[in-house]
Structure 1
Amino acid sequence: MSGSEANGGDAIVAYCVPGGPNFQRVYVKVHGYVALIICLLGSVANSVNIAVLSRKEMTSTTNSILTALAVADLLVMIDYIPLALHVYTTIAEELNRNSYAWAVFVYFHSIFSQTFHTISIWLTITLAVWRFVAIKFPQKNKTFCNKRNTNIAIAVAYVVCPIVCLPIYFAMKIQELPNNNTVRDNVTINETDTVNVSAVGEPTYAISMTNNQYLLTSIFWIYSVFLKLIPCVVLSILSVCLILKMKSSDRRRQKLLKKSAVATNEGEKARLNEDGGKRGGRTDRTTRMLVALLGLFLATELPQALFGLLTAIAPHLFGICYYAFGEVMDLMALVGSAVNFVLYCSMSRQFRSTFTRLAGKLLPPLVHHDSERMTTTTTVKA
């Protein structure tokens, strides 16, 4: 590297130093607890999503994709819970973080979380394409977006995404670190200092990245461009198209309602009102819910895509800038995976009614038990 290139690299890194590392040192103290809350609530929410969306009365191609999406999001959050507990909190600090077993889990987590998060991303794109076809080409919807093609699209996402993530599998390795007995003998070990310290003589293991710069560069480009940036661009285009189509449908419905207002035949007037109101309202609610889902996705994924692209362009930023904000990007991804339940409940009447009926089947035994206990208590007092 020439002197000018080195100075340029130092100037770029200067944007992250010391602000980035200082921010990371402060934020990492609360990250684990915030991530745990999000993961626990999100796991419950996605479990409810799966239970509701898989009901017979909720059967549809859109809900099949949403169910597969909830499964992927649920697995991502369940996988993150042990990492948050062990690394970012004091709840499991007595466990050895330098053991071979923990190194294996970190290796597994890095692959598993990225793979299923990628599956979630491409299922979101599939959902947007299906919805676009439904409102843009309604006559072809039943042919193109039928149950068989939907199942194939879901299967392709679950099979192809792990293959796309293959370079990540080979970029990391579990490495045994040499023990320095002299240094360890000088370490004061007490109740609060045993987190990252192994006993003298015990082997220490850690995850290390490959020294192959070509492989690392290809991984940065795959992550930032193919797994993040391209999906964000595609979803942005589809979101704009859906919004424009939704506005066009609103204008057409208004014309239809005006036509019904001047219709002399009362039967025709009632039919036009029913067709233009109920069907259009139901379609618009589904489309608005999807647009909100896509907007949430862009808000959480686009910053990661841009940061990953910056790292791909300047790989030397990875060690300083990327690690400084890595926990924040993890949290953004977890938030995106956890709040879908709120969107479904707030924007889908069918989801709310199905959820209410499903909850009603579980709550009556509890309510009946509580009412019996209250009756018994009242009788004793009397």
Structure 2
Amino acid sequence: MSNFEGDGVAYCVPNGQMFQRAYVKIHGYIALIICLLGCAANSVNIAVLSRKEMISSTNSILTGLAVADLLVMIDYIPFALHIYTNICAQLNKDTYAWAVFVYFHSIFSQTFHTISIWLTITLAVWRFIAIKFPQKNRTLCNKKNTNIAIAVAYAVCPILCLPIYFAMKIQEITPSSRNGHENGTLNDTDVRNTSTSSEPVYAIVMTDNNDLLTAIFWIYSVFIKLIPCVVLSILSVLLILKMKSSDRRRQKLLKKSAITTNEGEKARLNDDGGKRGGGGRTDRTTRMLVALLGLFLATELPQALFGLLTAIAPHLFQVCYYAFGEVMDLMALVGSAVNFVLYCSMSRQFRSTFTRLAQKALPIGRGRGEPITSLKA
């Protein structure tokens, strides 16, 4: 073991294990609250963004993103109920059927979370094209290309996650091997729930092929986590610089308007003012996207860095991942659940459409809203 690995393990043991034992007692209940709220929020996102008056390339991507996030949280609810709470404590956690579900959960959640990541990148690229090359936006980011990009994300990401499918296997744990089992998924939580009867016990274990495991860690950390974080960081910086440039240009036009006396020039500037209003809406939409990207980076970058460290020192996975794995799961769930708050706080049209839908759904307080024909942040 290298000094780096030794230092990492020393950091995770015993402090990390003590933290895990304390946090795991409340993780399930926190995760369930976030998942239930997130399921409701993403369902609203889908209902609002798929309305006829809301149809646009950006909103199509946001709808695909909401679908992926919704599926991730729906899948996590039975997992959290069964593993982390006392609500389903009477159910046997050692059966082959449950091991199959855990295997499915590991693959399903990672696949759709990866889809969410790459749809976020697609959204950032589409927005960058819209503000950097507005004359090409209608051609490059039209409805057809947007649908193709969404379909590609849903088709390619399962293939990208394919190596993860081979990282785990279902194994029968004999009584003699239960004690001191160091495999990944048979952690303290699982041992605490392990049956003492003579019935066979099944668990998810990591592959014994260290070369394959190392390759999988590199794929996970670099291609699924790190590269998207780097790309989104670059796009976020470019979008922020473009917004600042637009603000400076707007200020110059306002100063020019203040000193203009010619009526014809005033009329021209009034026309520019209307365009600036559209530019202001564009900037607000861009700010919403930058906020979305910032939230994504805050939740994904720690996982990317941890995955990279694990790829460099694979031994850290067995010892350290299960000390902080639940916290990273929670961060990902939070990132998938709060988009609704962002949309409501930064998009006037989203709020208006949501209000009209709520008024139709509620038995009282119904009213007619003004028709909305374009996305206005």
Same fold? TM cut 0.5: yes
Q: Distance in 2 between matches of 1:103 and 1:38?
A: 25
Q: How does 1:1-382 map to 2 (within 5 A)?
A: 5=1, 9-179=5-175, 196-198=193-195, 200-261=197-258, 262=260, 263-265=262-264, 267-276=267-276, 278-363=277-362, 365-366=363-364
**Following TM superposition, by how much is the alpha carbon of 1:170 offset from its aligned partner in structure 2, in angstroms?**
1.2
Name the SS for the 1:95 alignment partner: coil
**Following TM superposition, by how much is the alpha carbon of 1:198 offset from its aligned partner in structure 2, in angstroms?**
3.1
The 3 A distance-change label for structure 1 pair 127 and 213 is same
* Amino acid of the structure 1 residue aligned with 2:268: E
Larger radius of gyration: 1
**Following TM superposition, by how much is the alpha carbon of 1:176 offset from its aligned partner in structure 2, in angstroms?**
1.5
Q: Is the 8 A contact 2:359 2:365 kept in 1?
A: no
**Following TM superposition, by how much is the alpha carbon of 1:239 offset from its aligned partner in structure 2, in angstroms?**
0.2
Q: Mind listing any 5+ residue stretches in structure 1 that lack a counterpart?
A: 184-192, 369-382
How much identity, in percent, do the aligned residues show?
Answer: 78
Number of residue pairs the alignment of both structures matches: 352
Q: Distance in 1 between matches of 2:2 and 2:227?
A: 31
1:287-345 per-position Cα deviation (integer Å, ceiling 9, x unaligned): 00000000000000000100110000000111111110000000000000000000000
Name the SS for the 1:18 alignment partner: helix
Q: Is the 8 A contact 2:20 2:323 kept in 1?
A: yes
**Following TM superposition, by how much is the alpha carbon of 1:366 offset from its aligned partner in structure 2, in angstroms?**
4.6
1:76-107 per-position Cα deviation (integer Å, ceiling 9, x unaligned): 00100011111011000000000111101000
Q: Distance in 1 between matches of 2:310 and 2:269?
A: 61
Q: Which runs of 4+ in 1 moved over 4 A?
A: 5-8
Q: Is the 8 A contact 1:179 1:200 kept in 2?
A: no
Q: Distance in 1 between matches of 2:5 and 2:156?
A: 36
Q: Is the 8 A contact 1:96 1:195 kept in 2?
A: no
* Amino acid of the structure 2 residue aligned with 1:38: I
RMSD: 1.9
Q: Distance in 1 between matches of 2:167 and 2:111?
A: 14
Name the SS for the 2:202 alignment partner: strand
Q: Mind listing any 5+ residue stretches in structure 2 that lack a counterpart?
A: 180-189, 367-377
Q: Distance in 1 between matches of 2:320 and 2:209?
A: 20
TM, length-normalised to structure 1: 0.88
Q: Distance in 2 between matches of 1:367 and 1:342?
A: 23
Name the SS for the 1:97 alignment partner: coil
TM, length-normalised to structure 2: 0.90
Name the SS for the 1:113 alignment partner: helix
**Following TM superposition, by how much is the alpha carbon of 1:168 offset from its aligned partner in structure 2, in angstroms?**
0.8
